[in-house]
Amino acid sequence: MTDCIAIIDIGKTNKKILLFDASYNVIYRKSIRFQELVDDDGFPCDDIDAIEKWIFSEIKSVQEQGIYNIKAINFSTHGATVVYLDKNGERVAPVYNYLKTLEDDDFKSLYDKCGGVDHFSRQTASPAYGMLNSGMQMYWLKHKKPQYWKKVAHILHYPQYLSYLFTKKATADFTSIGAHTALWNFDQMNYHSWINNEGITLPTPEDGSKATIVDVNGQQIAVGMGLHDSSASIVPLIRKSKNEFVLLSTGTWIICMNPFSKEKLTLEQLQKNCLCFMTPSKQQVKSSMRFLGHAHELYAEALSAHFGVDIDTHMTLELDKGLIQKTIESQRIVLLPEVVDGTFKVDTKTLTSFVTYQDAYCQLMFEISAKVVNGVQLILDEKSTIKHLYLSGGFNSNSWFVYFIQQLMPNFTLELSDIKNESALGAALLMNSCFD
């Protein structure tokens, strides 16, 4: 049998299991999508019961095939998602969707106690994103849904909850705690004091390379604590690259990540949509995060309907360098507002000014690219010598995006990352001791 590491990779849309061999090649992969349910307020949420059953079923299926010998299991999941458990380890509330709307008034008193929203957000390196701040989810649950809160014994982020299903250990890791949670004081590199003041108990975060040996269907397997997916994606590049770099991680979110920043987040950066993540070993990663992949998806649908073409037309659209140059020179902003968030909707009236699909798509990619470039510039330290960009994720294969970035940042070397499944691979690399 082939020794391998199994990674459960939970994205917002696709849920995957991947097996990595000792050379960290993917030797098995399976993906599935689940229909959403609704939470107690009628808002869409994950069918966590179905996801759990699928995870256990897939692990057992791999074991029963007799082809692969699972040495370790680890998890990579999207952020801003927490699970509340009672003293018996049972869930006591829905697994709420981070797109759910929370009102600013729900947190005003907390912000006031912590020096105001700007000071608090800069200190925690977490813009006031409402539900995207998992700490605010906890505060909201405590004050708005006491019927659940009174039963809470453990609070776990999504990756650690999946790990808990196997280990029955309540854990926290730096990548999950440091991902725009409003839980971590980046000035002091420790939990923020408001947590204790609110009587919220969280596990002490640990290095993401730690694992627990447990029995899984009669086999002794090392089970990791899991990682936040965007933070996991940077692990392979840190280990591979000889140069300091900025990573452009592209998907539903486009995240510019600088793991070499030594400067604290400034108020100006915060107000321009910057934040910090953390590596598995507790190093801050200054980042700029924008919902631009989501905007691209919405416009793909709108352009398809407006011009009467297939929704995937952009995937085969021939690159027009002359049109790109004219679009750059015009510096016109038509399609995207300054802030693109979960409330963004396409204004189809904006499409009437374009004669062809190509013209409209070129304009869209210019505006997306310009926002990404601005994000990169914001997260560079004042005396930064970084001149290397890595591009990973879905936009890796988008020739329009690649060319726009090259033209807008001519002093940087752009390299298309040849690392596949970055988040899952990052989670696997932290389990490397299982091959020793």
Q: For residue 288, what pLDDT is reported?
A: 94
Q: For residue 104, what pLDDT is reported?
A: 73
**How many Å apart are CA 265 and CA 279, to the nearest integer?**
16
Element (H, E) at 379: helix 357-379
**How many Å apart are CA 193 and CA 199, to the nearest integer?**
10
Q: For residue 343, what pLDDT is reported?
A: 83
- Give the model's confidence band at 32: pLDDT under 50 very low, under 70 low, under 90 confident, else very high: very high
The answer to whether 2-227 and 233-436 have equal CATH topology is yes
The pLDDT of residue 249 is above 90: no
Task: Check if the beta carbon of residue 94 is closer than 8 Å to that of residue 45.
Answer: yes
**How many Å apart are CA 394 and CA 417, to the nearest integer?**
11
- CA within 13 Å, CB half, 73: 29
Determine the average pLDDT of the residues in 229-254.
90
- Give the model's confidence band at 422: pLDDT under 50 very low, under 70 low, under 90 confident, else very high: confident
Q: For residue 86, what pLDDT is reported?
A: 98
What are the residue ranges spanned by the domains of the chain?
2-227, 233-436
- Looking at residue 98, its amino acid is Y
C-alpha torsion sign, points 109, 114, 116, 120: negative
Find, among 104, 100, 125, 421, the residue nearest to 288 by Cα.
125
What is the CATH code for 233-436?
A: 3.30.420.40
**How many Å apart are CA 158 and CA 114, to the nearest integer?**
27
Task: Check if the beta carbon of residue 129 is closer than 8 Å to that of residue 135.
Answer: no
**How many Å apart are CA 275 and CA 284, to the nearest integer?**
10
Helix (H, G, I), strand (E, B) or coil at 190: strand
**How many Å apart are CA 302 and CA 67, to the nearest integer?**
46
Determine the average pLDDT of the residues in 372-399.
94
Determine the average pLDDT of the residues in 391-402.
92
Q: For residue 400, what pLDDT is reported?
A: 98
Average pLDDT, the chain: 95
Determine the average pLDDT of the residues in 166-174.
97
Place of tokens 């897939």: 58
Helix (H, G, I), strand (E, B) or coil at 192: coil
Q: Which residue has the higher pLDDT, 343 or 27?
A: 27
Q: Domain 2-227 is classified in which CATH homologous superfamily? A: ATPase, nucleotide binding domain (3.30.420.40)
Please name every residue paired with 386 in a beta bridge, in sequence order, or none if there are none: none
Place of tokens 């899952």: 424
Q: Structure pTM?
A: 0.86
The pLDDT of residue 342 is above 80: no
